[in-house]
């Protein structure tokens, strides 16, 4: 299994993605994570020469030299590979009490007292961008499976926040009904449940592609907001990936 990026590597990558040397529309690390997760669980394979430029809105970033370019692209590829490995067949068939993958959700707790009101917005927006990469294939699945459509909406609801002009999710463009904005508590709960919403989608997609796929039923309770984060950081889930 490809090794997950360390906190330092995630910070290094995010710092570059948000630097003046990248296009303004470049994904940050949270949006990139949602984007790559959608690609990993989606109905069709998306080649690297398509998804990699999309991270930078189709405009190549500016690098100091070839070495820096190799380093940044290496981090992106490693992150993509670790996510893909997390949802590999071996991982699906041998579940533990922890989720297959814990999404990267940024927290601005030290800089913004209202950060909870937009928690998960960028991740869900990235997930939607991943859906759009194969929009027709996703549309066909969503139209054929109401439960899958609901599971996707559980994630995309996070993309709408009070700062938006309309209280709708991005998925309105693929035929979904307008949704009500989440309260701060609902948003926090939805972020904490993200790993399992993603797994629900993964199994729905697999079933549509290959027939009935037995979904994992865990006897252990889900990770609570005050439980240790499954990523192994030693922090509480609400202060780490559940932030």
CA distance 211 to 204: 10
CA distance 81 to 4: 9
Nearest partner of 170 among 34, 55, 60, 46, judged by Cα: 34
Q: Which residue has the tokens 């790559």?
A: 36
Arithmetic mean of pLDDT, 99-116:
76
pLDDT band at 98 (very low <50, low <70, confident <90, very high): confident
Complete DSSP assignment for the chain: -PPPPPHHHHHHHHHHHTSTTS-TT---HHHHHHHHHHHHHSSS---HHHHHHHHTTTSPPP-SSHHHHHHHHHHHHHHHHHHHHHTSHHHHHS--SS-S--------TTT-TTGGGGTTHHHHHHHHHHHHTTHHHHHHHHHH-HHHHHHHHHHHGGG--TTSSSS--GGGGGTPPP-PPPPHHHHHHHHHHHHHHHHHHHHHHHHHHHS--PPP--SSPPPPTTSBPTTSSSSBGGGTTT-
Residue 43: per-residue pLDDT: 94
Arithmetic mean of pLDDT, 90-97:
62
Q: Which residue has the higher pLDDT, 33 or 240?
A: 33
What is the residue extent of each domain of the chain?
A: 7-210, 218-242
Arithmetic mean of pLDDT, 136-163:
90
Return the minimum-mean-pLDDT range out of 157-161, 198-202, 236-240. 236-240
Nearest partner of 161 among 119, 197, 131, 189, judged by Cα: 119
**Residue 65 confidence (pLDDT) above 70:** yes
Q: Which residue has the higher pLDDT, 2 or 213?
A: 2
Q: Which residue has the tokens 């922090």?
A: 235
CA distance 140 to 131: 12
pLDDT band at 168 (very low <50, low <70, confident <90, very high): very low
Distant-in-sequence, close-in-space partners of 121: CB < 8 Å, separation ≥ 6: 158, 159, 160, 161
pLDDT band at 235 (very low <50, low <70, confident <90, very high): low
Residue 221: per-residue pLDDT: 46
**CATH code assigned to 7-210:** 1.20.120.740
pLDDT band at 128 (very low <50, low <70, confident <90, very high): very high
Q: What is the pLDDT of residues 12-28, one digit of tens each?
A: 999 999 999 999 999 99
Nearest partner of 32 among 51, 19, 9, judged by Cα: 51
Residue 2: per-residue pLDDT: 76
């Amino acid at each position: 299994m490809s090794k997950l990026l360390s906190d330092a590597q995630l910070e290094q990558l995010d710092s570059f993605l948000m630097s003046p040397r990248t296009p303004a529309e470049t994904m940050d690390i949270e949006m990139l994570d949602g984007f790559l997760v959608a690609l990993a669980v989606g109905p069709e394979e998306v080649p690297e020469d398509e998804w990699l430029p999309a991270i930078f809105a189709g405009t190549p970033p500016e690098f100091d030299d070839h070495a820096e370019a190799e380093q940044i692209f290496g981090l992106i590829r490693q992150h993509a590979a670790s996510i893909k490995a997390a949802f590999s067949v071996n991982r699906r068939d041998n579940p533990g009490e922890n989720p297959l993958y814990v999404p990267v959700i940024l927290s601005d707790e030290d800089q913004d007292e209202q950060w909870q009101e937009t928690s998960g917005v960028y991740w869900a927006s990235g997930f939607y961008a991943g859906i759009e990469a194969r929009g027709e294939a996703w549309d066909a699945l969503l139209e054929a499976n109401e439960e899958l459509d609901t599971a996707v909406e559980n994630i995309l609801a996070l993309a709408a926040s009070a700062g938006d002009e309309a209280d709708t999710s991005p998925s309105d463009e693929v035929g979904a009904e307008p949704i009500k904005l989440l309260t701060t508590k609902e948003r926090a709960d939805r972020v904490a449940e993200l790993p399992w919403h993603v797994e629900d989608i993964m199994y729905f997609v697999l079933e549509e592609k290959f027939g009935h796929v037995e979904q994992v039923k865990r006897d252990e309770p889900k990770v609570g907001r005050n439980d240790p984060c499954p990523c192994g950081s030693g922090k509480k889930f609400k202060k780490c990936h559940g932030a």
